Homo-oligomer: A and B are copies of this chain.
Amino acid sequence: MISSQILQSISNILGPEGLRTRPEDLEPYSKDATRLIFMPDAVAFPRNTRDVSKILAIANAEGFPVIPRGAGSGKSGGALPVEGGLVLSLEKLNRILEIDEENLIAKVEPGVITADLQEAVEKHGLFYPPDPASIKISTIGGNVAECAGGLRAVKYGVTRDYVLGLTVVLPGGEILKTGVETAKGVVGYDLTRLIVGSEGTLAVITAITLRLIPMPAAKGTMIAYFDEMTSAVRIVSALTRRKVIPTILEFMDRLSLECVRDEMARPFPSTAKAMLLIEVDGDPRQVENDVEKVGQVCREAGALRFEEAFHKEEVERLWDARRNVSEALFKLKPHKISEDIVVPRNRLADFIGFLEALSLSSGLPLPAFGHAGDGNIHVNLMHDQADPNETGKLEGIIKKVFEKVLELGGTISGEHGIGLTKSPYLSMEIPKPAFDLMIRLKNAFDPKGILNPGKIFVEPE
């Protein structure tokens, strides 16, 4: 528990509106997209880097946990105050500081909603490609802390690839600028990329310099249905062989598809067991060319249906269906564990076959959807927590999934991070010397362990 005296000094820094301690005010900050609940002692709302610095200096001196928080849309529990302490909500640091067309950069505060940033840069004819499915609610700060990926990563990479520099506050309160505001820069160790994806355990991010690219002139959106999941994922290899790298190559399996049936703009074939959503972009003539190639590949693979050239509204509705699929799966069962694994592109069919067999043998629905283009699959263990027969199987299924993923040369987290929920499995992928090294790095940043304790490297309670 943080003493009332300490709370008073934080309140003195932030003003009466800047600190909340009443249980009803804390409740929204006790949860995230994992649906787990951990109550903080208090929530602070700093307005600028100096506020963050002052609060961290106090926390470091007094030794209480500080948990940085964006929108709380994380899927691995990164923003949960598992050991209590002070949630540091960055929602008031929400300004787009600059969009610089000549240097192709944007400077933003961490609390900016990522979709708002995208919209703002698009007004300048520019493009910020990373687009996690949570884009309309998640913040850019959270995206950076988790190294969010998204749909367009196939072609454009992930959040890490667009972060040039950061302003951060170290646990002792020191304010640091890392990285550069230019396209190149190699001065000293790469603190910027070390902090990207460190899930709020190394430093608190208070400003971000992002690289932008020109907006592609044209886009082509396609949808294809297949009567077998394995046919659908073979498209990925077939397109790679023809050197077509789509902007987006999303898939949904039969169960996922059924859950969003009502949201689809057009009805789909009743025998469809898999859907691919494909987008290409670039020069208009290249887009035309690529759309043709994709159609050819899909038809050769025996697509039940292949459609292209949607209206803008229809395309938006398609993307909404894709973004909502994660929530829509609750139609199957009241509870869900979502695993965010990656396998090499050409092992997707193997993995999907494995998953179908596992669903059959375990008797649990294991709907899968995700980013086929980069091998990043969201595997969902749907279950009912009231049914001990179902909950008893979860642990075993998760382990089997991760074992298979690692056997295929993949990774147990593509874009959701380790946070709380995946920390028990970290050692399956990270060998002891790397684990020990990471702990030493953590200590180099945060010797007292005040920043987001109980994450990545520990067993959840």
* A interface residue numbers (CB < 8 A to B): 100-104, 125, 146-147, 149, 153-154, 157-158, 160-161, 170, 174-178, 180-191, 193-194, 196-198, 202, 213-215, 217, 237, 240-241, 243-245, 282-283, 285-286, 289, 342-346, 371, 374-376, 409-418, 426, 429-431, 433-435, 437-438, 440-445, 456
Whole-angstrom CA separation of A414 from B437 in the bound complex: 28
Question: Closest residue of chain B to A159, judged by CB?
Answer: B186
Contact among B153, B182, B283, B437 for A374, CB-based, below 8 A: B182
Do A186 and B282 have beta carbons less than 8 Å apart? no
10 example contacts (A-B, Cβ-Cβ < 8 A) are as follows A101-B240, A103-B344, A104-B240, A147-B186, A176-B437, A180-B342, A181-B410, A285-B286, A286-B286, A440-B444
For residue A374, give the distance in angstroms from its CB to the closest CB of chain B.
Answer: 4
Chain B residues near A197 (CB, 8 Å)?
A: 186, 189-190
In the bound complex, do residue A183 and residue B154 qualify as a contact, i.e. CB atoms below 8 Å apart?
Answer: yes
- Point out which of A184, A213, A282, A442 has the most chain B C-beta atoms below 10 A from its C-beta: A184
A410 contact set on B, CB distance < 8 A: 180-182
Closest to A182 in B: B342
Chain B residue at minimal CB-CB distance from A374:
B183
Chain B residues with CB below 8 A from A431, complex form:
176-177
- B102 and A187 contact, CB distance less than 8 A: no
Chain B residues with CB below 8 A from A191, complex form: 434, 437-438
Chain B contacts of A444 at CB under 8 A? Answer: 437, 440-441, 443-444
Report Cα–Cα, A456/B161, bound state, in Å. Answer: 25
Q: Assuming the A-B contacts A183-B153, A283-B282, A411-B182, are A188 and B345 also in contact, with contact meaning beta carbons closer than 8 angstroms in the complex?
A: no
The 9 nearest A-B residue pairs measured at CB:
A214-B243, A283-B286, A183-B374, A440-B444, A193-B193, A102-B346, A184-B414, A174-B433, A185-B411
Q: A158-B184, A414-B184, A444-B440 are in contact. Are A214 and B434 (CB under 8 A)?
A: no
Q: Name the B residues within 8 Å of A411 (CB-CB).
A: 180, 182, 184-185, 187
Q: How far is the CA of A182 from the CA of B370 in the complex (A)?
A: 15
Min Cβ gap A317→B in Å is: 27
Copies of this chain, tallied across the complex: 2
A408 → chain B, closest Cβ, in Å?
Answer: 10
Shortest Cβ gap from A236 to chain B (Å): 9
Query: Which of B185, B198, B215, B345 makes the CB contact (< 8 A) with A342?
Result: B185
Q: Which residues does chain B contribute within 8 Å of A445, judged by CB atoms?
A: 437, 440
Known: A153-B183, A283-B285. 5 other contacts (CB 8 A): A101-B241, A177-B431, A182-B374, A191-B437, A194-B441
Partner of A186, one of B186, B343, B374, B417: B417
For A150, give the chain B residue with the smallest CB separation.
B184
A183 touches B376 (CB 8 A): yes
Q: Which of B198, B244, B414, B435 interacts with A182 by CB under 8 Å?
A: B414
Instruction: Choose from B154, B183, B188, B433 the contact partner of A418 (Cβ within 8 Å).
Output: B188
A194 — nearest CB in chain B belongs to which residue? B194
- Tell me whether B184 and A153 are in contact (CB under 8 A): yes
Whether B344 contacts A182 by the Cβ 8 Å rule is yes
- Tell me, in angstroms, the Cα distance from A299 to B342 when the chains sit together: 49
Contact B190–A160 (Cβ < 8 Å): yes
- Residues A241 and B437 in contact, CB atoms below 8 Å apart: no
Complex Cα gap A198–B193 (Å): 13
How far apart are the CA atoms of A181 and B245 in the complex, in Å?
Answer: 18
Known: A170-B433, A440-B444. A190 touches B193 (CB 8 A): yes
Query: For A202, what are the chain B residues with a Cβ–Cβ distance below 8 Å?
Result: 189
Contact check: which of B188, B343, B430 meets A188 at CB < 8 Å?
Answer: B430
Q: How far is the CB of A161 from chain B (nearest CB, A)?
A: 6
Contacts of A103 in B (CB 8 A): 240, 344-346, 375
